[in-house]
Chains A and B, each alone.
Chain A
Amino acid sequence: EAGVVQSPRYKIIEKKQPVAFWCNPISGHNTLYWYLQNLGQGPELLIRYENEEAVDDSQLPKDRFSAERLKGVDSTLKIQPAELGDSAVYLCASSLDPGPGTQYFGPGTRLTVL
């Protein structure tokens, strides 16, 4: 069974440019998470979806970050405009049920903002 797929794996952009990350969760997983991971730190939740509904987006900086999961499957996380401090790894995870122990993580997208 394929795991969580993310693309691109790496992205380098200049500040003030937009960027988007894509995630395809494990088939049948209704819950999808986006995390931000800074170097040497643990992941921090940005947003959690149950099907197409964002049930927890309290940690998402809504002035520049947006996310969507229109059909309850794939998801896109966007940053516009990017800032230098946004350089990090963006992880997507999915779970069959909204229980924390069953989250499966993708490999992440490493973003570098110059």
Chain B
Amino acid sequence: GESVGLHLPTLSVQEGDNSIINCAYSNSASDYFIWYKQESGKGPQFIIDIRSNMDKRQGQRVTVLLNKTVKHLSLQIAATQPGDSAVYFCAETGGSNYKLTFGKGTLLTVNP
């Protein structure tokens, strides 16, 4: 859904379903992208990354897709589990300063 003010985009899925979380970025110079998972009361946890010379990268139950033409990044979680419930952030960086710019975040809720 759309976010307004402090409201996070939210995604609610049933346990066992696949989840797709989207992220748009604006900096065409960004060349490295990361997805983080943040559970309540904890710091962000690295999930998966992708460089701009790739379109797709797979990890365990997660896949990141990068579409540089439309500046869009997505995170796919297979067989979503209750433990996947968290806020998911995409982050980008470009150049050599290693400064990460985080997106707004999406709240994923997995219903048992």
Chain A interface residues toward B at CB < 8 A: 4, 39-45, 48, 56, 91, 93, 98-108
Q: Is the CB of A105 within 8 A of B7?
A: no
Task: Say yes or no: B46 contacts A42, CB within 8 Å.
Answer: no
Interface size class of B (residues with CB under 8 A): 20 to 34
Contacts of A91 on B, CB cut-off 8 Å?
43-44
B43, A93: Cβ atoms under 8 Å?
A: yes
> Cα distance A93–B43 when bound, in Å?
9
Q: A45-B100, A100-B100 are in contact. Are A106 and B34 (CB under 8 A)?
A: no
Whether the Cβ atoms of B99 and A45 lie closer than 8 Å is yes
CB distance from B80 to the nearest CB of A (A): 22
Interface centre among B6, B89, B102, B103 (most CB of A within 10 A): B102
Q: How far is the CA of A90 from the CA of B57 in the complex (A)?
A: 31
Q: How far is the CB of A51 from chain B (nearest CB, A)?
A: 15
